[in-house]
């Protein structure tokens, strides 16, 4: 359990350090994310981004537990 948490923490640190180069990839605005814009508010529901992150984290954790 502690090994998994350490790997997850290191992964988040690496993503944070690489965010300058990851940001222009527009990861948060994939086709399938719902964006509703009105005059006074914007509603953003990241369905495709959430699925992609879930798949990547599942693969990382699966490989870490092997």
pTM: predicted TM-score of the whole model, two decimal places? 0.60
Stated length of the chain = 66
pLDDT at residue 27 in the model: 67
Indicate the DSSP class of residue 32: T
Residue 28, C-beta contacts closer than 8 angstroms, at least 6 positions apart: 46, 49
DSSP 1-25: -HHHHHHHHHHHHHHHHTHHHHGGG
| Domain ranges, ordered by start, for the chain | 2-65
What average pLDDT does the segment 59-64 reach? 87
For residue range 7-40, what is the model confidence (pLDDT) as tens digits?
Answer: 888 888 888 888 777 777 666 678 888 989 999 9
Q: Containing H/E element for 63?
A: helix 47-65
Q: Which of 11, 23, 2, 22 is nearest to 58 (CA)?
A: 11
pLDDT at residue 40 in the model: 92
């Amino acid at each position: 359990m502690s090994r998994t948490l350490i790997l997850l923490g290191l992964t988040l640190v690496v993503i944070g350090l690489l965010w300058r180069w990851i940001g222009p990839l527009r990861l948060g605005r994939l086709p399938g994310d719902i964006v509703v814009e009105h005059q006074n508010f914007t509603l953003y529901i990241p369905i495709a981004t959430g699925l992609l992150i879930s798949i990547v984290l599942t693969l990382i954790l699966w490989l870490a537990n092997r």
